[in-house]
A and B are shown apart, each in its own frame.
Chain A
Amino acid sequence: MKLDNITYTYSPGTVYEMHAIQGVNLDIDQGEFIGIIGHTGSGKSTLIQHFNGLMKPTSGKVLYEGKDIWQEGYNLKSLRSNVGLVFQYPEHQLFEVDVFTDVCFGPKNQGLSKDEIEGRAREALEHVGLAEDMYKKSPFDLSGGQKRRVAIAGVLAMNPKVLILDEPTAGLDPKGRDEIFDQIQSLREKRGITVILVSHSMEDVARYVGRMIVMNHGQVAFDGVPREVFTHYRELEAMGLAAPQITYIMHALKYRGLDVDTQAITIEEAKKSILQALGER
């Protein structure tokens, strides 16, 4: 998947004109786990809607498997079943009488047979960790976190090759958050899909993703492995973001003369590095 110098402007030519994306170039390979981070209004949600053709760039090209998706005659519908997009607060899109039927909506639109649809829905619901006894409940009787899972399952059931999630854990408790991340992680390993995760939390992203893209004012500020990106923690701060707390601790320790690895991002790594440095003395 490739974004070639795309720009998106909301309401061009009026007083409400807003350049949400400016000259973004991205190359994404199959199987990558990518985190997109940026402060509120930096253009993350706008950016990801370009991947499955929901938004047409004001200028620039979007390529999927080498083909320009805005070319005459390109099948956008098949693109959308290959690139699944879970929106911010996806629970607001639920509409069916029960959970199971709602999850079936996606595969049904793909024109599959009834058995296949139900098989996929079941599988997707299992993936997000919803128990059988929930299947016949009305989606409106569930808790926020459960609704979120149903909505994510609704996209998973389409068996996308690329899964894009816009803040899938906003407003969830830490346990629910970890569960959802773990499920996404295991799904990626099992199916070998590409996952693009939009988030505010550096800690979450750092733990799971292999590549991190930092957005600032509609442009890509940093693009690389999390450790490398976090070495720019001062610049990140200037953008209204923050590196994981571990990064700060490690830098402070180093400043005080302890020879630790400032690129550690998890508590375990930090612990090891600190013990090692202390042991050397």
Chain B
Amino acid sequence: MASVEIMNAVKAYGDQQVLHSINIHVEDGEFVVLVGPSGCGKSTLLRMIAGLEDITDGEILIDGKVVNTKHPKDRDIAMVFQSYALYPHMTVEENMAFSLKMQKRDKEEQKQKVAESARILDLTKLLDRYPRQLSGGQRQRVAMGRAIVRDPKVFLFDEPLSNLDAKLRVQMRTEIRSLHQKLKTTVVYVTHDQVEAMTMADKIVVMHDGYIEQIGSPLNLYDQPANLFVAGFMGSPSMNLIKGRMDRSDPHQFVTQNGKVIRLPCPVDIDPGRELVIGIRPEHFEVSDEGTEFEVEVIEPTGSEIQVILNLGGEKATAAFRDRLPLEPGDKVRLGMSENGLHFFDSQSGNRLSPDLYMKEVSPEH
């Protein structure tokens, strides 16, 4: 077990800089998920921690020691690859024992350690098989088995579930979580799937184009996205983001680019000259006579809820309701929102505006 410290880490391929001064602190035993769209540099960062990729600038510390120039095998980490990277001409047992064999541990110890890991991951019956004789889920499990055999200080996962079907993915998510609770080893886990990040992480690092957008707990990111990127990326269906500005005469009214008015649940004190983006999560809409009138375009029932695609003067929005509302395409519906479901972002910088800057006392005449 160990902490991982990434300090001002930079990665460049030639002139092209793909990671810009990354700072992340991973506590001992923490499960940290790096999430971001494909190409944002997650794998590169993970490979830098593993030692498979040079660190152009900055430092990476594992267990308090700088590892920049250490060989991967001396970093005491284990990695699970997206392709699983199982050695194709070795049996499951040989795959799992490979690192021990390289360390020249004695045969008895190898057998015993492999057997124990196999038991934890329910692989005992598969030990004599070759990778190509396994299903995707079993391969995934063997890749994890190979990692835990070594009892490393840190586990690194690079999109380990993205080659599995949806059902197995959900199941393995839980399994990896419970394995982490059992072993309590520090984990750095890379995924492009924000649901995976939300459900698995103690702490999420949202990355975009080689920069960190925000670091925080899953709920923290969900409730207080620091900027437009995080707001749009975390959550499914994603947050509605509508451009406009505050009305000059009425602090309860937000005017969209198309001149439509959205009725706010509370007065908001932001300079009407400032270009804004208002953010509302689909589930924070509620039917209310006081609300704004939207036109229903499409209805998508998921079973547990219904998702409604709305139109407001050409601006699209999504709402999700637990109740099975009797709505039809073409209907008009008045929707309001709760006060704490409201987010404001500066349109220029994309940054979140903190509520204590714009909320003011509800005036008594209202």
- A and B together in one complex: no
